[in-house]
Amino acid sequence: MRRLFSFPNPVNEVSSRLVAGGVVAMSAAALAFQLEWLVAVIALGFVARVATGPSLSVLGQLVTRVVTPRLPAAPKPVPGPPKRFAQGIGAVVSGASALLLLVFDLPVAGWILLGVLVVAASLEAFLAFCLGCQIFALLTRIGLIPDSVCEACNDIRARTDAALERAAASN
C-alpha cells in the first residue's frame, strides 16, 4: 500500500491531463463568475496534490477512480517528479491569486494570476504540454535540480524502449 504523503511515480499522463482539464474548468468558472472562494478551493487542491498526489485531492480522486478507468485510453506512464514540480507551481500561483483576492484586496492582480494558471493548465489538458515539466527539465539541465531527483527523466533509452513496447503491443 502506498504511503499517504507520497507522490506517485510514475504518473498516468491521461489522469494528469484530465486533472488539468478540471483545473481549467474550475478556474474559468471562478473567473467568469468572480468566485473568489473557488480560487481558495483550487489552491487547496494543488496543495493536496503536491503533498499526496491524488490521495487527498477531491479532483484527483474523481479523475483517478471514476473518470480515467472508464476511458478507452491506455495508461501512459510518465515520470512523477516533473508532474509534482508542476503541481507545486500551480499551488504557488493559485495560492498567490487567492491571497491577492481574499486577503490583500487586489482583484486585478489576483484574476490575472488565475488567468496565467488557466493558460498553463490548458496547455497540459488540451495539448499535452506541461509547462511546469519543461521548467523542471530546464532547471535539471542547468544543475539546479540534481539528476538523481528524476532518474527516469534522464534515461532517454528507457523512454524510447517503453514507447516501442507500447506501439508493438497496440499492433
Dump pLDDT digits (tens) for 85-140: 999 999 999 999 999 999 999 999 999 999 999 999 999 999 999 999 999 999 99
Note the residue count of the chain: 171
| Ordered alpha helix ranges (H), the chain | 13-33, 36-52, 58-61, 80-102, 107-127, 131-141, 151-154, 156-170
Q: Give pLDDT tens digits for 28-68.
A: 999 999 999 999 999 999 999 999 999 999 999 999 999 99
For residue 153, what pLDDT band results from cuts at 50, 70 and 90?
confident
Q: Model-level pTM? A: 0.86
| Separation CA 75–CA 94 (nearest Å) | 28
